[in-house]
Structure 1
């Protein structure tokens, strides 16, 4: 019996190992994209400069940028170093799903849930991203695991303190992840553990300063979000699983497992439902913003696999079938140009074509951060975006004076439509410079302007 328990313990870490292997597969193949470039740039900044950035636009990501700083100094390719925290968090979340599943529904359910999570495409995609979403998911799993322990153990002060700290950490990594809190509150209420509401309230109070400060940056942070409609609801399963067949398999197993684990069902369903509902008044929904609900969904699927008729024989084929159905998506998310922007190819193109004395202009100015992860080509150019020592963009008059001895200017921008057509720096550039070929690298455009004869 002791030997069997030892074997079971070793098998229990299998989802963590599979998750780590899956996340490391092709980790450096896709280029960093603009959001990841901001992460890398922020992690490299002197703290004084980082403080200015956080005060202007990115306060909600402050903790993540600080956590990333030691990783970005590692002697690894920039893609690997920047994405390593997400890889580790993804593996840890897979282990957490396994442990929670074993506690709630037995070892087969835990193992199946952890393995399903390890190959769920949306989770894998953000395990290979230098942003906070994989870490948020891992902390959500930790908080849920602590709540489960509160359900079945006598109250201990350190457990309540750890639970409150995990919720506060969750919110400081991403405020929208606090949509998990109502699910936890409902679960605690109906499980008769109403004392768990106290650490929830304490965590909420701890997040008030960040919420107040971040509210002033909302328009700069998530201005691009749109009100979701029923098509977004319908596409959510495919966003998670990567394809219609994989979505059918995943959500069918989860629906079957939901009968046996109602608290997990709350954690999988309620945050997504609340995100859609709130977004009808104030858009906050995006699939990656509810990524922290996916571990619960995978756990439900694992419980469903373990509760199939003849589960001893069918659980393994069910998990294997889901993995096979996701394989095409797994390949697609590792293509070199699979991210919204191909910053690496953009930098390589610029490095090959730039000449001594060339200049660069970023419109809008934040696009300097968007490309800085591959900064060497830009560092050799005269930066026309900012006045010396200032964070604000140059005025038209300042730019006009600076252009005096320059023959070629590289413009890095999005598609120049009505939103930026009247930018005073762009208007000034066009007075004496002729627009050349526009090359596109995802959503980023690179245009060479040469002086008119």
Structure 2
């Protein structure tokens, strides 16, 4: 039986490894990935000081990334993205195992392959952020939930579920919306088995309550950092809601096909409610909560994609039973073909929101001895300096050496004494940063040249005025 199971899982694991590795080093690291790299390379003292002001919600991920960020051999993109690649492979395997357990080997194989071909899954499987790991932990948590519901090895199921929920919250607090889906599944399952209802519900509530105790300090810290962490989130409207399935499947046609398969799978697995609620409830909850307090972004609900793939895999298994296995294979192939354009596009060199590699190459080609660099706002050094060797060869006037506190405008002017050229690295300078005192200090003696855009990051060369 073990050999049979392995033979069903190997194609999924191999396909996930290949798709996840395909083009993983081609797109430039972007702003969020730069933060991951820079924070993961900090000394522990600097790391804890940084987390006290920002990004405490990603502390666990930075610790996971730390040994990979320290590796200097080979492409930096590969090592920084490797944990997400491994998580993508692991999540695909977990989806296949869950599908096999809930609906048979064909459903498991199909579910795993659907997960592999969905562009959004491999997109974040190639990013140095926590979202692919969140998906992996969501799969693990759902596996232990199924064990909890079925009453198999209850102590192991309880311990595994508790640990999984703690990890889920530590990697991304908003992912705890998955627990709403789990709660619905527990209650629905308990209603079909009254003799086990009390035990199942009590076990689930106890595991969640225990995890809540563990996660409370992080919740308190994150609440205090919210305004600097996710101030940019907006209330999702119909456009954002409709865009999610398109982003998942890689296009409108793919979303239609995927939606039909998911609907068929949810209906076929109606006696196994965890399938339907996983694919729907967390997304709906995130959208609903965001009408009052924005918490929604497509990547923040990435952990529902394994549930979508699971439901679609069960839908394909229905096709295999009613017609033939060829029909199920054709369904996966159709999804892959419809997603191919998106898969290729997200692996282009400039596919990420910022092209920090091109920015660094431009600076390397055009800098001169004695050039300075200024980051406005000062955290943009963290956001852009992942290709850091170049920046170590420029005099950074943003802050005093060894200090995390930015210089004042007057201090910037003093630090620029004798300089002829200054590179400004910034976002678009609109009303938000126009009056930044460091920028005011720079403009007091320097004239800007043309602004060049590398995604959302801007590079501007300032040269000293003749009278200065």
TM-score of Structure 1 vs Structure 2, range by shorter chain: over 0.9
Aligned mates of 1:311, 1:186 — CA distance in 2: 34
Partner of 1:252: 260
- 1:435 match: secondary structure: strand
1:135 aligns with 2:133: yes
Moved more, 171-180 or 305-314: 305-314
Write out per-residue CA displacement over residues 166-218 of structure 1, whole angstroms, 9 at most, x where no aligned residue.
11001000101100011111111221221222112211221111000111111
1:260, CA displacement in angstroms? 2.6
Aligned to 2:364: 351
Q: Which residue of structure 1 lines up, in the alignment, with residue 316 of structure 2?
A: 305
Match of 1:196 in 2: 204
Deviates more, 1:247-256 or 1:260-269: 260-269
3-state SS in 1 of match to 2:433: helix
* In 2: Cα distance, 1:370 partner to 1:96 partner: 33
Instruction: Give, in whole Å, the separation in 2 of the partners of 1:177 and 1:366.
Output: 27
Matches within 5 A, 1:84-99: 84-99=82-97
User: Which residue, out of 170, 173, 185, partners 1:172?
Assistant: 170
1:368 aligned to 2:365?
A: no
3-state SS of paired residue (1:418): coil
Q: How many residues align?
A: 450
* 1:362/1:412 contact within 8 Å kept: yes
Paired residue for 1:429?
Answer: 442
State the alpha-carbon separation in 2 of the partners of residues 260 and 171 from structure 1: 31
- Deviations 1:78-113 (Å, cap 9, x if unpaired)? 100000000000000001000110111111111000
Cross-structure match for 1:270: 281
- The structural deviation recorded for 1:307 is 0.8
State yes or no: 1:417 paired with 2:415: no
Does structure 2 conserve the Cα–Cα contact (< 8 Å) formed by 1:412 and 1:447? yes
- In the alignment, is the contact (CA less than 8 A) between 1:16 and 1:118 conserved in 2? no
Aligned partner of 1:408 in structure 2 is: 421
Match of 2:66 in 1: 69
Alignment partners' CA distance in 2, 1:234 and 1:11: 34
**Residue 73 of structure 1: how far off its partner (Å):** 2.6
SS at match of 1:277: helix
Tell me the distance in 2 between the aligned counterparts of 1:439 and 1:127.
30
Could you report, residue by residue, the CA deviation over 1:245-304 in whole angstroms, capped at 9, with x for unpaired residues? 111111110011011332111111111001001111111100000000000001100000
Matches within 5 A, 1:269-288: 269-288=280-299
The match for 1:206 among 191, 204, 214 is: 214
Once the two structures are TM-superposed, the CA of residue 320 in structure 1 deviates from its matched residue by 1.0
Deviates more, 1:407-416 or 1:309-318: 309-318
- Identify the residue that residue 408 of structure 2 maps to in structure 1: 395
Q: 1:312: Cα distance to partner?
A: 2.6
Is there any run of 5+ residues in structure 2 with no aligned partner, and where?
191-199
CA-CA distance at 1:7 after TM superposition:
4.3
The answer to whether structure 1 residue 240 and structure 2 residue 248 are counterparts is yes
Shift of 1:12: 1.8
CA shift, 1:8, in A, is 4.7
Cα shift at 1:347: 0.3
Q: Hey, what does 2:227 align to over in structure 1?
A: 219
**What's 1:451 paired with?**
464
Deviations 1:14-48 (A, max 9, x none): 21211111010001000000100010111111111
1:37/1:371 contact within 8 Å kept? yes
Aligned residue for 1:294? 305
SS at match of 1:409: strand
Deviations 1:216-255 (A, max 9, x none): 1111111111111111111111111110111111111001
**Contact preservation (8 Å) 2:248, 2:255:** yes
Matched residue, 1:100: 98
Contact 2:249 2:335 in 1 (8 A): no
Whether contact under 8 Å (1:242, 1:329) holds in the other structure is yes
Number of the residue aligned with 2:26:
29
Work out the CA distance in 2 between the residues paired with 1:395 and 1:8.
63
Q: How far apart in 1 are the matches of 2:433 and 2:137?
A: 39
Q: Secondary structure at the match of 2:235?
A: coil
Q: 3-state DSSP class of the match of 2:374? A: strand
Aligned to 1:324: 337
Q: Using the TM superposition, give the Cα deviation of residue 150 of structure 1 relative to its aligned residue in structure 2, in angstroms.
A: 1.6
Distance 1:322 1:401 in 2: 60
Indicate conservation of the 8 Å contact 2:147/2:154, yes or no.
no
Q: Please identify, of 252-261 and 440-449, the stretch whose mean Cα deviation from structure 2 is larger.
A: 252-261
Counterpart-to-counterpart distance in 2, 1:267 and 1:208 = 24
Q: TM-score, normalised by structure 2?
A: 0.94
